[in-house]
Amino acid sequence: MTQHAQTLSDAEIAAIARRIDRPVVLVGLMGTGKSTVGKRLAHLLGKGFVDADDEIETAAQMSVSEIFEQYGEDYFRDGERRVIARLMEEGHGVIATGGGAFVNDATRALILERGIAVWIDCDIDTLVERTGRRNTRPLLRDGDPQEILTRLRDERKPHYGEAPIRVRSEEGPHLETAVSIIEAIDRWL
């Protein structure tokens, strides 16, 4: 455990986890660490974790990039909303969503009504570095990642801002971000 993580004992984390009565749904731009932090968060809370993009790819038998290329973003967002609704119904403890999921009005309303939406925010330079590690981001393929991520952040910020909880993901252990989320949920509950 890191120094920061020791601000909450295992017993305190368990007590907070017992008060969480619906899925914790992580939203934010690509590269903020939703999947990695989500796994840590689920482990700390003793709950299951699922990545919505992984579930979409399994259901479609195609990658997110292939769905975007063959059918377009609107088709993808509709399928994404249906998959997130199913995951929430199944009672997964922590759900990581794709970067654009919370921008869709119907998906955002669903998450706000049935989940605890947590916006993981991050500075652009960190996002550029993190997203540059893999070439699986359809929205970053045709241009300057710094410019695209800045534009996406500016466009999506009003939507992400509707999440009742906002936590910053900094360079450093993802465990610290997971603990910050637990602390923020505790204050929000």
Which domains, ranges and CATH numbers included, belong to the chain? 24-188 (3.40.50.300)
Q: What is the pLDDT of residue 2?
A: 38
What pLDDT does 4 receive?
Answer: 45
Question: What does the alpha-carbon distance between residue 93 and residue 90 come to, in Å, rounded to a whole number?
Answer: 9
Total number of residues shown for the chain:
189
The reported pLDDT for the residue numbered 128 is 81
Q: What is the mean pLDDT of each run of 10 residues along the chain (189 residues)?
A: 60 96 95 93 96 94 90 91 95 93 96 97 86 62 80 94 94 87 96
Flag whether the pTM goes above 0.85.
Answer: yes
Which of 127, 169, 118 lies closest to 152, judged by CA? 127
Q: What is the pLDDT of residue 136?
A: 57
The distance from CA 184 to its chain's CA centroid, rounded to whole angstroms, is 15
Q: What is the pLDDT of residue 172?
A: 72
What is the rounded CA–CA span in Å between residue 54 and residue 138? 15
Residue 3 structure tokens: 């120094």
User: Which two tokens mark 43?
Assistant: 């482990």
Coil, strand, or helix at residue 119?
Answer: strand
Q: How far is CA 67 from CA 70, 97, 105, 143, 186, in A?
A: 5, 16, 20, 20, 38
Instruction: Quote the CA–CA distance of 118 and 26 in Å, as a whole number.
Output: 5
